[in-house]
């Protein structure tokens, strides 16, 4: 395989244009409020947890918005990452496009407003059969219990949105693509269409393992997309589950990264890059034929407020450097910076401007 390009190249910063980064996923409106133990008990919630909403939680969403001081943020894994990428870049606005499905309701309107405030070019597919997806963050002290209700996010339709010329043009405009593994549960056919476009045009397609259940229960759609994946993200738990499901027979994270890099690949002009974060431990990445460890930014444990958005923000920081053609080391440094900022705050939120050089 001659003339192989590195995924991230020269280190010269590229001028950025609108819609250069494309993301697609489950848009959720994050609703955070401080609650008391009675509220948790009423809905059978643990203080620190992440669950999908069941029938017994339906009233929770109506009730939490009646609380004093409710905060709304545009959320969902992929949307968080493109929002962080946009924040890291600042100008121009609308560097990132985002596709996903919402409802024609008040929460949908708030989500549109929040995306606009974050300067993300969100083009939602709007339908009225399901309400806009939400994620309630029930905060007690330092703990937060997350309850996600995908609702409308589950209703994304390729032929009703992605296939429309005006939308597909935005896909073609991009040069870097990012989709979290969570979207495999919604529209694998949409992911494949975008992934094939990237591969056929030698552009960069990135994906995230997202959660252990994706590697376990959505293995078939995941492995259909894998040959088109140029950069794969995940954390240590997701990497271990993926390795087990793939029969790698190792729990050494560097070895898992190497074996994942060597899985079959369509576009042989780009060698796959695998990046596994491990919380406060070194980030593991494949650099050419080697596996390299990158230490994270030191942080005092007392300064950590909420690690929940750390993975999404790492990816966002990484993507902000990637679309500027920065080398892998710089992409990882930008990812570590963004994650370090976000874990000091509640939810996936950030100060007005980054202080990253």
Q: Indicate whether 145 belongs to any domain.
A: no
Question: Cis before residue 143, ω within 30 degrees of 0?
Answer: no
Please report the sign of the dihedral spanned by the C-alpha atoms of residue 337, residue 338, residue 339, residue 345. Answer: positive
Q: Indicate whether 13 belongs to any domain.
A: no
Alpha-carbon distance of 305 to 340, in angstroms, equals 11
Residues involved in catalysis: 312
**CATH number of the domain encompassing residue 98:** 3.40.1190.20
The DSSP-derived string for 177-245 is EEEEGGGGGT-HHHHHHHHHHHHHTT-EEEEE--SHHHHHHSHHHHHHHGGG-SEEEEEHHHHHHHHHH
Q: pLDDT at position 352, please?
A: 77
Residue 86 structural domain = 21-28+75-132+150-343
* pLDDT tens figures, 316-337: 999 999 999 999 999 999 999 9
Q: Whole-number mean pLDDT of the chain?
A: 91
More confident residue, 34 or 257: 257
Q: Indicate whether 59 belongs to any domain.
A: no
Q: Indicate whether 51 belongs to any domain.
A: no
Question: pTM higher than 0.85, yes or no?
Answer: yes
Average pLDDT over residues 98-118: 94
Number of domains in the chain: 1
Q: Indicate whether 44 belongs to any domain.
A: no
Alpha-carbon distance of 98 to 198, in angstroms, equals 16
């Amino acid at each position: 395989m001659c003339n192989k390009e590195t995924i991230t190249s020269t280190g010269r910063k590229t001028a950025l244009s609108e819609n250069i980064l494309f993301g697609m996923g489950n848009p959720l409106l994050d609703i955070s409020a401080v609650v008391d133990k009675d509220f948790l008990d009423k809905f059978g919630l643990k203080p620190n947890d992440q669950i999908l909403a069941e029938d017994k939680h339906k009233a929770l969403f109506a009730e939490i918005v009646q609380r004093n001081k409710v905060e709304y943020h545009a959320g969902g894994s992929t949307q968080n990452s493109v929002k962080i990428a946009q924040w890291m870049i600042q100008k121009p606005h609308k560097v990132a496009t985002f596709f996903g499905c919402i409802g024609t309701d008040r929460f949908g309107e708030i989500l549109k407003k929040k995306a606009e405030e974050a300067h993300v070019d969100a083009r939602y597919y709007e339908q009225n059969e399901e309400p806009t997806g939400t994620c309630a963050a029930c905060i007690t002290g330092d703990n937060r219990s997350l309850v996600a209700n995908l609702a409308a996010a589950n209703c994304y339709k390729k032929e009703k949105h992605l296939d429309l010329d005006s939308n597909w043009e935005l896909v073609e405009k991009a040069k870097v693509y990012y989709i979290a593994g969570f979207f495999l549960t919604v529209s694998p056919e949409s992911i494949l269409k975008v992934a094939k476009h990237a591969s056929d045009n030698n552009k960069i397609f990135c994906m995230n393992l997202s959660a252990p259940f994706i590697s376990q229960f959505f293995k078939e759609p995941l492995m259909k997309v894998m040959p088109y994946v140029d950069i794969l993200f995940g954390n240590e738990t997701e990497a271990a589950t993926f390795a087990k499901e793939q029969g790698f027979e190792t729990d050494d994270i560097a070895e898992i990264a190497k074996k994942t890099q060597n899985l079959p690949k369509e576009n042989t002009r780009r060698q796959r890059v695998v990046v596994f974060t491990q919380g406060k431990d070194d980030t593991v990445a494949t650099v050419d034929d080697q596996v390299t460890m990158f230490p994270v930014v030191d942080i005092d444990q007392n300064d950590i407020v909420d690690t929940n958005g750390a993975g999404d923000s790492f990816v966002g920081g990484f993507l902000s450097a990637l679309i500027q053609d920065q080398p892998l080391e710089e992409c990882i440094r930008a990812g570590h910076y963004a994650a370090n900022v976000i874990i000091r705050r509640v939810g996936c939120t950030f100060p007005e401007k980054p202080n990253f050089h």
